[in-house]
Each structure stands twice: as structure tokens, then as C-alpha cells.
Amino acid sequence: MSATIPHIHWTDGALRLLDQRRLPHEVEFVDCHTAGEVAQAIRQMVVRGAPAIGITAAYAVALAADAAWRSHGAQWRTAIAEPLAVLAAARPTAVNLHWALARMQRCMAALGGAAPGPVLAREAAAIHAEDIAANRRIGEFGAALIAPGSAVITICNTGTLATGGYGTALGVIRAAHAAGTLTEVFACETRPWLQGARLTMWELQDAGIPATLIADGAAAALMQRRHIAWVIAGADRIAVNGDAANKIGTYGLAVLARAHGVRCMIAAPTSTIDPDTGDGSQIPVEERGADELVSFRGLPVAPPGSRVWNPVFDVTPAGLIDAIVTEHGVVEQPARHGVRGLLRGR
Ligand code: MRU
């Protein structure tokens, strides 16, 4: 089985998504014919990762517009408001979702009287292709910061599966490996969905990058015992002051990194920067159901009636981040500079 199976695949009138919940042991696809089905796939984690969510939602807009055109003809715009709202609410933290919907709405506004579906599908494909190109640039910029002989820690999955392709933090890791500067990647398993164990290890093995899986709780001991050069993580939303929301556990890694002299890099496209969010306290953090913690694949693990708090992202303050790497360049010490300057290129 290969980690290069197309994971977001548009064919006329349908979006085929690789079901990331079942990887790496089962390869199954979910076919979405409506924007509502796409929103459900996003909510249920069939597709996940901030840029991948944005790309998927963009294709869903083409599906919604096509359906609205068939049902309402020239009045199609009135019928698309509801599916757009459902898509926007699918997951709250990844701002790439809102960024992609806003771009699709700008495209819709510029349309004439012809059927909207094909033009919007082309716009979604452009967003998809641009994301892959952005990730390659992020990889180059990030890898330039990595000295020869470096071991790194990463969390969650930030690879092809989480993006249009190649990956953000995992793109930096790919580029550093290609440059010969990387000795080893430690992948945090990333409870409760195990994106690190299931998806990142799969992608790293597929790419031939030396990788070791660790329990999330082993990161401190690893930094104590081994020389780790960088924590490299992605982001779901970056505030203009440089605070960055990412998978739960990233903040803990950043605190540990500071305590052990390890540097902390956040790698993300500029579509992850939210110009309307001044600092991390304004970032909505998704909390998911108790079932994700009290059971594992349907098997109960906690005693019945256990009270649960399940935030799935946390916010790393800019002061703990050494570099934010985007396709438009790098901001070192973002606490001093903020990231607004990076928005000029987007
Ligand atoms: O809940 P998920 O799997 O969607 O969370 C994904 C992450 O937190 C990633 O690290 C982040 O989206 C960056 S992906 C390039």
C-alpha cells in the first residue's frame, strides 16, 4: 500500500475522499455528491488537516453551485447560502476553511450568467494546485533552517494527507531529508485520533525517512536524553501576533522545547494566517465528543460516566515559537515581529 494514493479526487460531479479514519490498514473512499455530504465528511474526520479541509470545502462549493443551478437556474445564488453556512460550520478552528470559502465566494461574485459549476470546480482545482506549490516553498524555506545532523520531533499529521500534497511541517521534513541534514524524525502518536501513529508514520515510511514513533508522553524524556534540534509542527490558525493553534499537545511540546534548548518551528501556508484574529485568545478551539476519549474504536476504556474535556487544539504563544515558515518567507522570533507582513504576498 502506498501513501501516494489520491486523497482528494475531483471527478465530474463528485468528490472522492480517501477515508483517513481507516488508514493505514484499510484503503477506502467516501464519494460525496453534495456539499452536505462533504461537510459531514469534514466533521467526521474522513478528511482532516487544515489545508485539506479548505481544499475539500472549495470543491464542495462547486457541487453546491451545480445543484443550485439545476434546481433554481439563474437564481442559483439564493440556493447556495445554506450549504455554504453548513460547510463553514463543519470545523471551527482551521481558518483555511473560511479562507477557501471566501475565495470561492469572490469567484462566484465575478461569474456571469452561465452554469457556475465548471468555473468553480476549476477555481477549487487552482486552490488545490497552489497549496501543493506553497508546500514545496515552505519545505525549501524550512529546510534551510535545519543544520546537518538534526533530529526533530513532529506531532499530528501535516503531510500529503493533511494538505493538497507534500505537506507543511512534513514538507519541511521531506525537504530536509532530501538535503541530507535530517538524521531522524520522532513522530508523536497524537491521541486520540492517532494521526501521528497512523498517518505520519505511514507517510514517513513511504518516503523512506528514518522515523520513530513515540507516545505523546515520551516527548519530555526524549528531549532530556537525546539532542533534538527542532520541534516542527503545522498550524490550523495563526493570529497576527504569531500565536499559533495546532493539534492538542503542540503547546506542551513548545514548552518542553524551551526547557530543553530545542527550537520550535511552525510551518503553514499563509492561508492559515487569520488577519482578523489579533492573538491566540481569540482563536475558537474545537472541543469534540467524550466518545473519543472514553472509548477506542468502539471499545470502552474509561469507566462509564467519566467526565471528559476534549479540546482538540491548543494555542502556542508566539514567544515559544522560534520561526513561522510560510510560502512567502520566514518570520523568526514572531513574538517580536508578528506575521502581518507575510500577508502582503498572499
Ligand atoms: O484534527 P486534525 O487532524 O484536522 O488536526 C490537524 C492538525 O492539527 C494539523 O497539525 C494542522 O492542520 C496542520 S496540517 C498541515
Q: Is the CB of 334 under 6 A from ligand 1?
A: no
Chain center to CA of 183: 25
Give the separation between CA 20 and CA 48, rounded to whole angstroms: 8
Give the separation between CA 321 and CA 238, rounded to whole angstroms: 12
Ligand 1 midpoint to CA 93 (Å)? 10
Predicted local confidence at residue 2, as pLDDT:
60
Q: Atom 15 of ligand 1 has which residue's CA nearest to it?
A: 158
Q: Are 279 and 241 in contact (CB under 8 A)?
A: yes
The pick from 158, 190, 251, 312 for probing ligand 1's pocket by mutation, whose C-beta has the most ligand atoms within 8 angstroms, reads 158
Ligand 1 midpoint to CA 100 (Å)? 16
Residue type, 176: A
The pick from 43, 48, 173, 325 for probing ligand 1's pocket by mutation, whose C-beta has the most ligand atoms within 8 angstroms, reads 48
Q: Is the CB of 168 under 6 A from ligand 1?
A: yes
Q: Could you tell me the mean pLDDT of each successive run of 10 residues in the chain, 346 residues long? A: 80 93 96 98 98 98 96 94 96 97 97 92 98 98 98 98 97 98 98 98 97 98 98 98 98 98 98 97 97 94 97 98 97 94 84
Chain center to CA of 175: 18
Ligand 1 midpoint to CA 114 (Å)? 37
Beta-sheet pairing, 8-11 with 237-238: unpaired
> What's the DSSP call for residue 302?
S
The pick from 128, 156, 166, 270 for probing ligand 1's pocket by mutation, whose C-beta has the most ligand atoms within 8 angstroms, reads 156
Q: Are 312 and 283 in contact (CB under 8 A)?
A: no
Q: Is the CB of 49 under 6 A from ligand 1?
A: yes
What cell was used for 35? 456539499
Residue type, 178: A
Q: Is the CB of 312 under 6 A from ligand 1?
A: yes
Give the separation between CA 301 and CA 304, rounded to whole angstroms: 9
What amino acid positions are annotated as catalytic residues?
A: 236
Run of H or E including 93: none
Q: Is the CB of 237 under 6 A from ligand 1?
A: no
Ligand 1 midpoint to CA 330 (Å)? 20
Q: Is the CB of 96 under 6 A from ligand 1?
A: no
